[in-house]
Amino acid sequence: MKLFFCVLSWFLAASLSAWDLNTAQTWEATLAPVMQNENISQLEHLIVTDPATTLTQRAILGIAEHNLERKVPHQGWATKAVNTLTPLTQENLGDELEAILLPYLGSSLGLQAQDDFFPLTKLLEVNHAFSVLDQAVQRYGQFSYYPQLIRASVDMDVPSFFNKAGQAKEDLETLLAWRNTHPEALPSGALAQVHLLWGLHEKNDGHREPALAAWKLALQEDPQQVGAGKKAAEYLTRYQN
């Protein structure tokens, strides 16, 4: 048993040494404008005008298609996102980029399942989405916040009979404590999303005041309401009085 833990510690240390924080932050900065973009016309413009030939352009395309499906569902954007992201994640991207794109693929698969009219294939597609998201967390969750953040978002979207609320709570708790366990803090946009989801978790548990407090924190992190702050403001207006 002692040998097992020594080998495990060595493996985790080796993995950590292979993770380049500067590369990860460069990819985050490059993709942030599309990841945080919820403007339908701007996302459509990206898709129409960008030839999507370079690695960066293809990554932007897949994320834009994913976000369009969330904003304009049932228009086929999820399938396009899956078709863009699947071959990308099968390439030798480097861990720092795959840690972003693999969770987006998992989420896209979940969104694609929502478009499916057949219960059996819908269930298979949802389970495939869960598998990809779990794989992303297992591979990269100790280094990158994207796997847990996107998995928590998906887990909170699916019906309760999938029993994912507990896992979403654990992921969100990990992200709320990120500053204490990692050398870098979560960016404001990501932290706003975490507070938004935590507020939904509290609301679903019947805790109104903690939910309102979480949404206020989300709005503080995104006062311009370009991302999660907009939805947090809507929830505050709906539930505050």
Cβ count within 10 A of residue 212:
18
In this predicted structure, what is the pLDDT of residue 124?
93
User: Averaged over 21-28, what is the pLDDT?
Assistant: 93
Q: Is the pLDDT of residue 121 over 60?
A: yes
Q: What is the mean pLDDT of residues 93-111?
A: 96
Within 13 Å and on the Cβ side, how many CA atoms surround 185?
A: 6
Contact predicate 149/193, CB 8 Å = yes
Asked which of 9-23, 24-38, 102-116 is least confident by mean pLDDT, the reply is 9-23
pLDDT for 49 equals 67
Closest-CA residue to 113 (of 101, 128, 92): 128
Convert the pLDDT of each residue in 56-86 to its tens digit: 989 999 999 999 999 999 999 999 999 999 9
At 9, the pLDDT band (50, 70, 90 cuts) reads very low
Instruction: Please determine, for residue 156, whether its predicted confidence score (pLDDT) is greater than 90.
Output: yes
What's the rounded Cα separation, in Å, for the pair 125 and 122?
A: 5
Least-confidence region, from 3-17, 25-39, 76-90, 218-232: 3-17
What pLDDT shows up at residue 4? 38
Amino acid at 91: E
Whether 5 has a pLDDT exceeding 50, the answer reads no
First to last CA, the chain: 56
Give tens-digit pLDDT for 173-227.
999 999 898 888 899 999 999 999 999 999 999 999 999 999 999 999 999 998 8
Beta strands in the chain (DSSP E): none
Question: What is the reported pTM?
Answer: 0.88
Looking at beta carbons, which pairs linking 60-66 to residues 24 or more positions away fall under 8 Å?
60/31, 60/34, 62/88, 62/101, 62/104, 62/105, 62/108, 63/31, 63/34, 63/35, 63/101, 63/104, 64/34, 64/37, 65/108, 66/104, 66/107, 66/108, 66/111
Does residue 17 carry a pLDDT above 70? no
Whole-number Cα distances in Å, 191 to 69, 187, 220: 23, 6, 10
Between 47-61, 68-82, 112-126, 150-164, the lowest mean confidence (pLDDT) is in 47-61
Tell me, what's the pLDDT at 184?
A: 83
Report d(CA 142, CA 15) in Å as an integer: 10
pLDDT bracket for residue 50 (50, 70, 90): low
CB atoms within 10 A of CB 109: 25
